[in-house]
Amino acid sequence: MQIIDAQIHTWGTGLPSNLSHRQVTAFTPAEAIALMDEGGVDAAVIHPPGWDPNSTDMAFKAVRDYPGRFAIMGSLPLDQPDSRSKIAHWRDQPGMLGLRYTFLHEPARQWLADGTIAWLWTEAEKADVPIAMLATDSLQDIAGIAERHPGLRLTIDHLGGRGGLTTLKDAAAMTHMPQLLALAKFPNVAVKATGAPGYSSQAYPFPAMHPYIRQIYDAFGPHRMFWGTDITKMPCTWRQCVTMFTEELPWLSEADKRLIMGDALCAWWGWNRAA
């Protein structure tokens, strides 16, 4: 079973703007590899963070330096006219799987709602470029996008919640679940089951999160549910993030685990690790 983390950040300068991340000036691919090997993680998808302007270059170097271990979900500025023309060849870049955005703050949240960035969905669908997003307050808007663009593969981050941008825990952090589960009817929407321990007030194996993981599994199925960590925000080791799913959820079959822990992500985002 290949174990692939659907989301990590690596950086070489600056402090994370999200205070839930480790407040260190660097978390490099080399550091990540050492911890991945220790935790039994085969590969990870890097989401270059905005606080380090060189983080995308670092991610490309990681793809070159560690073949098969890293891929990238990058971003283009949504307020620059030339971004639209770059989408057609976005996946031609080595290791680049798709695009990832945060739509929790203005003006990006409003752009998603009012159609300002309708070009993004159109061009990404045309070019077969998957898009992942952190968009807790916009799940109903995303339903409309999914319906209008059935060929566009969308992925909702962090179990649909705010990830480290909330201090709420347990049920208080999961009030968005009805809106998230409603998206399951669209076959082009998937969910990253990333960062679950960060929502829990309890220690490993974070039992308060298990019912929500089960609800997502029941609604989306193992082909549209991707394990991951956002490791620099987690209150536990990488190994515990793995075994939370592989050992503590007895209702997952071995076939389910193979999909959720890596195979489904590779299929959804088109990552051929062997290549």
> pLDDT tens for residues 91-124?
999 999 999 999 999 999 999 999 999 999 999 9
Q: Which residue has the tokens 């925000």?
A: 233
CA distance 220 to 160: 13
CA distance 183 to 179: 7
CA distance 62 to 164: 25
Which pair of tokens denotes residue 57? 């270059």
Which pair of tokens denotes residue 163? 């990830």
Lowest mean pLDDT among 12-16, 193-197, 209-213, 216-220: 12-16
Instruction: Decide: 157 and 229 in contact? Cβ < 8 Å.
Output: no
What torsion, rounded to 10 degrees, do the Cα atoms 2, 240, 265, 122 define? -160
Q: In what order do the strands lie in the sheet with 225-228?
A: 4-8, 43-46, 70-74, 96-102, 131-134, 154-156, 189-194, 225-228
> 207: helix, coil or strand?
helix
Domains and CATH numbers, the chain: 4-269 (3.20.20.140)
Prediction pTM value: 0.97
Which pair of tokens denotes residue 231? 């490791």
Average pLDDT, the chain: 96
The DSSP line for 62-98 is HHHHSTTTEEEEE---TT-TTHHHHGGGGGGSTTEEE
> 14: helix, coil or strand?
coil
In percent, how much of the chain has pLDDT > 70?
Answer: 100
Going by the DSSP 8-state scheme, the letter that residue 166 receives in this structure is -
Q: Which amino acid is at 62?
A: A
Sequence-distant (≥ 6) Cβ neighbours of residue 175 within 8 angstroms: none
Q: 3-26: per-residue pLDDT in tens?
A: 999 999 999 999 998 888 889 999
Q: 57-75: per-residue pLDDT in tens?
A: 999 999 999 999 999 999 9
Q: 131-147: per-residue pLDDT in tens?
A: 999 999 999 999 999 99
